[in-house]
């Protein structure tokens, strides 16, 4: 079931009309930036989005502008992930495609912006299938938020190892 949902959502994301995507991105970004979780965080974990994912450029800029520390994920063997301070001059391309930090100095963010493909109404998500975020979030105590386009909200049952996101913002 998850594989089918992944395929359907990736197809919808790749065909998402640019005008509609920009409008939803702007509205959802404003909700995120004005949220209590963002406002109170000193460090925010973002991710290096792909072309079809939620565009985080405005969030990167706003986070930097207000002086919050930006962290991004770095993956390791055995599906381990950590968050490292973002330095746009010291990134390397991963085997999965996105850029990640060269550094190995791990930090724990106050807030994690969690990517995914689909979310149900209880905050459970379907990601790309690697399990990196679910493994990390299993022991994480801070705030988690996901940014969700209107068609990414679906009814599905989570699996036993899935970790719900505390808050989702959508249109």
Residues that constitute the known binding site for substrate: 48, 53
Residue ranges for the known binding site are 2-6, 48, 53, 125-133
Angle in degrees, CA 34, 6, 99, rounded to 5: 60
Return d(Cα 19, Cα 6) in angstroms, integer.
Answer: 23
DSSP output for 78-93: TTEEEEEE--TTSEEE
Judging by DSSP bridges, how do beta strands 167-170 and 143-148 pair with one another? Answer: parallel
- Six token digits for residue 38: 């963002």
Phi, psi for residue 159 in degrees, rounded to 5: -90, 165
Residue ranges for the known binding site for ATP are 2-6, 125-133
Q: Say how many residues make up the chain.
A: 171
Which residues, 6+ apart, have CB-to-CB distance to 5 below 8 Å? Answer: 117, 118, 126, 154, 156
DSSP output for 11-61: HHHHT--HHHHHHHHHHHHHHHHTSHHHHH-SEEE-----TTS---HHHHH
């Amino acid at each position: 079931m998850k594989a089918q949902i992944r395929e359907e959502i990736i197809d919808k994301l790749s065909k998402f009309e640019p005008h509609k995507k920009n409008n939803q991105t702007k509205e959802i970004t404003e909700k995120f930036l004005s949220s209590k979780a963002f406002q109170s965080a000193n460090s925010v974990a973002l991710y290096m989005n792909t072309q079809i994912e939620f565009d985080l450029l405005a969030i990167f800029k706003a986070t930097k502008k207000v002086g919050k520390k930006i962290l991004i994920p770095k993956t390791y063997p055995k599906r381990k992930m950590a968050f490292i301070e973002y330095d746009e001059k010291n990134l390397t391309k991963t085997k999965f495609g996105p850029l990640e930090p060269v550094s190995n100095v791990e930090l724990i963010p106050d807030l994690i912006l969690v990517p995914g493909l689909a979310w149900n109404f209880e905050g459970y998500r379907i990601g790309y299938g690697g399990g990196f975020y679910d493994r990390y979030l299993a022991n994480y105590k801070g705030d988690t938020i996901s940014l969700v386009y209107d068609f990414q909200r679906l009814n599905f049952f989570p699996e036993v190892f899935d970790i719900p996101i505390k808050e989702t913002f959508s249109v």
